[in-house]
Each structure stands twice: as structure tokens, then as C-alpha cells.
Copies of this chain bind each other. A is one copy, B any other.
Amino acid sequence: MSLVYITRKETFAAAHKLSREDWSEEKNQMVFGKCANANWHGHNYVLFITVKGQPAADTGFVVNLSALSELVRTKIISQVDHKNLNLDVPFMKGKMSSTEVLAVAIWEELYQEIQDMGCALHCIKVQETDNNYVEYFGEK
């Protein structure tokens, strides 16, 4: 028996902004800085999905990466790619579009369906720019 972790990378390009309607423009500016720009800005996001499990005896696969990629594209990429994270994405409605919140939301979208594929979701990593990224392991 060998517990192995396998990671698939996907990318998407999206617009967003960080600002609260219940805060003044001054407060939004002070807390969120240039990320509060009224007319939005955007990023090339990079998404890493890590699952863990035992490699199957016949295939040597923890998971069929084509099936995992298909799932991620259907459930996540089609919702966020070339979209506005604040306005267009059902699973982000009413949430701040920080990278932290986005990573947790993607975890929740994928967790059960990856379980149903016979392995376990281990980590969602979302990279917003070359200089920062977020990881969520399902910890409370």
C-alpha cells in the first residue's frame, strides 16, 4: 500500500474587485487599496487540485487525470474562466472575492464529487499572481 498525492493544474482568467458596499469609498481604499478599483481589474489565476489515494493495481492511477480534469472544467473552470468573480459566478455570490474565500469555495464545489471518484481531495491551491497564492486543506 502506498498513499500517493497527485496534482492537476488548470488556469482561468477572470475580473474581480475587493470592496464592500456597506463601507465608504475611503474605507475600501484604505483596506483594499488598488484592489478596490471601481471598474474592476483581473488576473490569470492558476488552480492546483491535489487528491490522494492508493494507485490502482491495474492502471497505476490514483485517479484518471482526464476524468479529474473533466470534472474540474465542468464544475469550476466553465464558471470562472473569462468571467467576473463578483458578478457571474453562482458559487461566489454574496462572498468577498479574495483568493482565500475563492479557494474555500472551490474546495466545497469539488469535495463530494472527488470522493465519489474513489479518492480524497487533499488541497486546493489558487495562485492569483506570481507573488502570492493560497492553500486550503479542508481544515477548520
Contacts and interface: CB of A to CB of B under 8 A. Distances in A.
A60 B96 contact: yes
Nearest to A139: B3
A66 B33 contact: yes
Interface of chain A: mostly helix, strand, loop or mixed: mixed
Contacts of A97: 60
Contacts of A55: 98, 100-101, 104
Contact of A15 (B42, B88, B95): B42
Contacts of A59: 18, 31-32, 96, 98
B61 A100 contact: yes
Residue among A10, A42, A131, A133 with max Cβ neighbours from chain B (10 Å): A42
A81 to B, nearest CB: 7
A130 B65 contact: no
Closest 10 pairs (CB-CB, A-B) = A42-B42, A60-B96, A60-B98, A34-B82, A39-B84, A3-B139, A15-B40, A15-B15, A41-B82, A15-B42
Given A5-B135, A9-B132, 19 more contacts: A2-B104, A4-B100, A4-B134, A5-B137, A6-B100, A7-B135, A9-B130, A13-B41, A14-B41, A15-B40, A18-B60, A31-B59, A37-B82, A37-B84, A39-B83, A44-B129, A44-B130, A60-B97, A61-B98
